């Protein structure tokens, strides 16, 4: 049965989607069967996985509305090597529409029940706000992965996120834990970044991943080609860092490869 992880940070521009698609692709290269859920109405994870987001007929929006099953929305990205439930701007409407529904915070969790047995890991790319969509992700997840840049504003964003996680744990999902913090866009030559990195390690200890993702132009270019960086330029520093991170992540989370994988 898949373990489910939300990739989230309430501050934008911290490499959240870059981390989600590259972790999914890197785990795929390691032989794991991965499902990526694009829960951000911007649909960047869909585009970065090779999907034409504006042409999606069966998207996460229809799943959350109960109009289709999640199986009907899953696509396989051959180039990226993982499965995807895509999204686009229609998902923004779900934020308001869900508010009027019973058990609104459990719509995604209930949908995922049908496919958890088919995957080794499910990654949810969350929007950069604490919306009903993000709450759905947190209620569905076993763990929370927080990508962050080593800047003081990022520290504030993490503090806000920790408060949100505590509230979800107390009220809805007691199983939710912070899996770890991933330092991204890191440049060791910048004194401030080194200082913030040290503060993170002092405060969060072993929950800070040992792998650090460097600033890398190839990672920034990759979405324009509809690919994760680890597929676009595997030899680049950024891609190699995400491969190392995937190995660390899989080992720490003790991911197991499912013995029986239903054909799709």
Q: What is the pLDDT of residues 8-59, one digit of tens each?
A: 998 777 889 999 999 999 999 999 999 999 999 999 999 999 999 999 999 9
Q: Is residue 156 situated within a structural domain?
A: yes
pLDDT band at 161 (very low <50, low <70, confident <90, very high): confident
pLDDT of residue 157: 75
Q: Is residue 262 situated within a structural domain?
A: no
- Report if pTM > 0.85: yes
pLDDT of residue 138: 96
pLDDT of residue 42: 95
Q: Is residue 258 situated within a structural domain?
A: no
Q: Is residue 259 situated within a structural domain?
A: no
Q: Is residue 263 situated within a structural domain?
A: no
Q: Is residue 261 situated within a structural domain?
A: no
pLDDT of residue 154: 76
Domain span at residue 17 reads 3-253
Q: Is residue 201 situated within a structural domain?
A: yes
- Per residue in 53-95, pLDDT (tens digit) is 999 999 999 999 999 999 999 999 999 999 999 999 999 988 8
Q: 12 or 215, which is more confident?
A: 215
Q: What is the CATH number of the domain that holds 108?
A: 3.40.50.300
Task: Among 103-107, 236-240, 243-247, name the one with the lowest average pLDDT.
Answer: 103-107
Q: Is residue 264 situated within a structural domain?
A: no
CA 206 to the chain's CA centroid: 20
pLDDT of residue 10: 81
pLDDT of residue 262: 47
Q: What is the average pLDDT score of the chain?
A: 92
If one counts the domains in the chain, the total is 1
């Amino acid at each position: 049965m898949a373990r489910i992880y939300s990739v989230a940070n309430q501050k934008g521009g911290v490499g959240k989607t870059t981390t989600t698609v590259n972790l999914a692709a890197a785990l795929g290269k390691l032989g794991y069967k991965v499902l990526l859920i694009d829960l951000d109405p911007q649909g960047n994870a869909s585009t970065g996985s090779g999907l034409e987001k504006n042409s999606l007929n069966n998207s996460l929006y229809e799943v959350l509305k109960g109009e289709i099953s999640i199986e009907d929305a899953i696509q396989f990205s051959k180039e990226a090597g993982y499965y995807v439930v895509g999204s686009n701007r229609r998902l923004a409407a779900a934020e308001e529409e869900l508010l009027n529904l019973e058990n609104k915070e459990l719509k995604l969790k209930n949908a995922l029940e049908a496919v958890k047995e088919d995957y080794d890991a499910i990654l949810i790319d969350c929007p950069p706000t604490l919306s009903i969509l993000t709450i759905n992700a947190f209620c569905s997840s076993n763990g929370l992965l927080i990508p962050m840049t080593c800047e003081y504003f990022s520290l504030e964003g993490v503090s806000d996120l920790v408060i949100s996680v505590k509230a979800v744990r107390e009220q809805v999902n007691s199983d939710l834990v912070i899996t770890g913090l991933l330092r991204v866009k890191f440049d060791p030559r910048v004194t401030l970044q080194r200082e913030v990195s040290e503060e993170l390690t002092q405060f969060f200890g072993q929950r800070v991943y040992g792998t650090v993702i460097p600033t890398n132009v190839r990672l920034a270019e990759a979405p324009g080609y509809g690919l994760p960086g680890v597929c676009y330029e595997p030899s680049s520093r950024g891609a190699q860092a995400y491969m190392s991170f995937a190995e660390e992540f899989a080992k720490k989370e003790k991911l197991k490869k499912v013995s029986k994988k239903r054909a799709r």
